[in-house]
Structure 1
């Protein structure tokens, strides 16, 4: 099995360690800031396959972002909504698992000397589901948010799950 690769507008084939170096470099530029590391997956069913895109976004609140994505193809139409949402969540969990305790500690150590100056760091898991009465995915909210929490991420659903519902969504078409 080949290692998972990531891409963005500037780089076409990054390994996870390249992604991590970019995130760390982005944070090193301004360690006194509010940072959110956000992961999320969206999918699109096509005639012969289902395309999943998982996004990784590091946001310096009010001062920019660095982002990348990775693609997963399932060679069939996944028409069952629960199966697709569950697989999206699994892919987000998989990417979250790449951020080992060592990786997270390295990022925390960047801002730790600056917490009294207002620096913060959080990690979120964005799920492309909503709790609204008209949303077909509302029945999955408890299950999927529980899975994301058990991965050590703060779960976010619509309208706060923009990495899944906007960033990743853009690349599923």
Structure 2
């Protein structure tokens, strides 16, 4: 993955960066948020963002870019974005579990949330119950527009 601050980083390095950051701000509320957005060109460019938001203090983020065959159906695009967000979230938690075994760092205090680039005021509103249910059944909180800033602002900007 890439970072404006840390350049190229692995998921293991992201876990370590998040752990150190949250230990520095251990009295503050820290949230790990995964969000994905996509944009159609010749192919569909998908941007996945892992963000750490320290409430009241800002945050840091990491991103990855995938290019897949063009997806024109909005429902299919949202399902693909959600699937990728969940895959990255599961990998991140798996790495946090390994990090916990090595260091004792308690990652369970972090709120893990998936931000979805769908809103109740647009053409994506009909897909929200399905996507939201899927995310919640996987054990994550789900946030949609206009509050889903990781997907609808950070990832969206990188897709351009």
Give TM-score, length-normalised by structure 1: 0.83
Aligned length, in residue pairs: 156
1:136 aligns with 2:131: no
1:167 aligns with 2:160: no
For 1:36, what is the secondary structure of its paired residue?
A: strand
Runs of 5+ unmatched residues, structure 2? none
Runs of 5+ unmatched residues, structure 1? 1-5, 113-119
Query: Paired residue for 2:70, among 66, 70, 77?
Result: 77
1:108-158 deviation digits (Å, cap 9, x = unpaired): 727x8xxxxxxx6311100000112xx100000011001111221100000
The answer to whether the Cα contact below 8 Å between 2:11 and 2:95 also exists between their aligned partners in 1 is no
Flag the 1:170–1:97 CA change in 2: closer, same or farther, 3 A.
same
> Which runs of structure 2 are paired with 1:139-154 in the superposition (5 Å)?
139-154=126-141
Distance 2:55 2:153 in 1: 17
Flag the 1:108–1:35 CA change in 2: closer, same or farther, 3 A.
farther
> Which runs of structure 2 are paired with 1:59-78 in the superposition (5 Å)?
59-74=53-68, 76-78=69-71
Cα RMSD (Å): 2.0
Distance 2:105 2:14 in 1: 17
Per the alignment, residue 127 of structure 1 pairs with 116
Flag the 1:108–1:146 CA change in 2: closer, same or farther, 3 A.
farther
> Which runs of structure 2 are paired with 1:1-173 in the superposition (5 Å)?
6-46=1-41, 48-74=42-68, 76-100=69-93, 103=96, 106=100, 109=106, 121-132=110-121, 135-173=122-160
- Larger CA Rg, structure 1 vs 2: 1
1:54-98 deviation digits (Å, cap 9, x = unpaired): 111111100121111111110x32111111111000110111111
Distance 2:95 2:155 in 1: 26
